[in-house]
Amino acid sequence: MSDLAEPFPNRRRRRLLASVAGLALVASGALGGAMIAYTNPARAAAVVTSDLQAQAVPSFSPIVERVKPAVVSVRVLIDNLADNGSEVSHELDKLPPQLKELFKRLEQNGGAQPRQAPRQGMAQGSGFFVSADGYVVTNNHVVEHGKVVTVTTEDGKVLEAKVIGTDPKTDLALLKVLAPGDYPYVSLARDTPKVGDWVVAIGNPFGLGGTVTSGIVSARGRDIGNGPYDDFLQIDAPINKGNSGGPTFNLKGEVVGVNTAIYSPSGGSVGLAFAIPADTVSTVVAALQQGGAVQRGYLGVQIQPVTRDIADSLGLDDASGALVDSALPGTPAADAGVKSGDVITKLNGQPVKDDRDLTRRVGALKPGDKAEIAVLRSGKELALNVALAPLKTEKVAEVIAEPHGGASVLGVLLAPAKPSHANSSHAKSSNGAAEQGVTIARVDPNGPAASKGLSKGDVILEVAGRSVTQPAEVKAGIASAAQDGKKAVLLKIKTAQGALFMAFPLPKA
């Protein structure tokens, strides 16, 4: 029968099926499948759809079978049931018989103190073996404040463990199983995963143990305000309480991250999970295994980000690097010649992205390490050599966040800085600044200074790199920056939180 002689409904149906078959074959070819002609177009579409589904969704079964024996549940005896970030749900009297007997024996042998508080209980988390002789990685917040630690293997064995060392700054801890054995273990990945890569998380959510979830890497380099070295992987694999310390694997079965935090208004997974990347884990674990603590290098600078306004005020093309607020006296930075107003652009030849990048990279170096830093000063790049000192405080390089905002004028009333005690040779202004600079006597609540968080009593110390002592010098410095064609003017201001730089955009000519 010719096409024209065929009834219209039949012709339309045949053309539709032919179109579906054609599209299916094109899709099959694009995926590298064989070009197969089917006499039944509907069958062709069904086969290709099945092939697409098979190729689009990988099976994680081979990976899980290989790595799951290395993943353990971590249980910690604590003094109370306050939630320390791990899953705390079992009172001691409600523990499984095997665990109850273990802790009873530990108390009899002096391994644990007799219970004093009626709310003594167990915190739960996850972990994984990283060596055949029984080293286990988990989160610091899982084991902190713990008196006794045990790990439970996939086959149900409960093993006593001791804490070798912890690193609260990265929220990592290293345990060692006391019983000798040849334990299954997994390796840390050397390559950083890419956004969009598949990952598999295994852990102990809500005490269930051995739970497997999958997802993708959503982002890298996340800073969630957890600490100075935040550099998390963000994954969308479902992670819940009790997964803390558990591993996230790539499709090679390598650990790409240690699950440590979730963002959730309800306490359950909403697709925002954060894992400590494997390169950080590798460095920290090696240090903990050698000495029980992580020794970090200390530079001794207070720094802040280079915003677009600050970059414009300094004549920089890119808003990158770390702006030095001050080099603390007697520190490696001061000894090397780093000065306030310098922009640190490179560390050991590698560009510094921003202030937090510098903090993380300095913290990754060891005390005594030699480092070369490149700084921009007055438009010229200088190379300075430093020998890092041991970190004795929380500050490797303290980051000072600059408030947001900006406009064409300051919106302040200025006055010369006045000493609070006129007869003192070391007189200071009301906010602690020495008798120098120009005091902000009043702030326009709708002006740019107010939008940046400045208030009455703050002191302007420098304008465009020059010290000021009179309001006229502030005005002249701003006018000079405008005449030089700068897009913004940089001010150094002493506030109650310390001295920091702020950039104020200038009006266009």
Q: Please return the burial class of 57, using the count of CB atoms within 10 Å of its CB with bins 0-12, 13-18 and 19+.
A: exposed
Q: Is 141 a catalytic residue?
A: yes
Which residue has 């589904």 as its token pair?
53
CA nearest 206: which of 307, 86, 107, 305? 86
Cβ count within 10 A of residue 102: 21
How many other C-beta atoms can be found within 10 angstroms of the C-beta atom of residue 305?
Answer: 18
Distance CA 92, CA 100 (A): 7
Listed in order, strand segments (DSSP E) in 223-279 are 232-235, 247-249, 255-262, 273-277
Instruction: State whether the Cα torsion 305-309-310-312 is positive or negative.
Output: positive
Active site residue 404: no
Map tokens 């003094």 to a residue: 79
Residue 33 is encoded by which pair of tokens? 């499948």
Sign of CA dihedral 417, 419, 422, 427: negative
Q: Residue 227 in contact with residue 167, Cβ under 8 Å? A: no
Phi and psi, residue 403, nearest 5°: -60, 155
Through-space distance between the first and last CA atoms of the chain, rounded to whole angstroms: 80
Residue among 171, 325, 354, 458 flagged as catalytic: 171
Q: Which residue has the tokens 């109850």?
A: 100
Which of 75, 161, 186 shows the shortest CA–CA distance to 125? 75
- Which candidate in 28, 126, 141, 167 is catalytic? 141
Active site residue 236: no
User: Where do runs of H (alpha helix) occur along 342-420?
Assistant: 355-363
| Residue tagged active-site, from 73, 86, 214, 244 | 244
Question: What is the C-alpha to C-alpha distance for residues 139 and 154, in angstroms, rounded to an integer?
Answer: 19
Residues designated as active site: 141, 171, 244
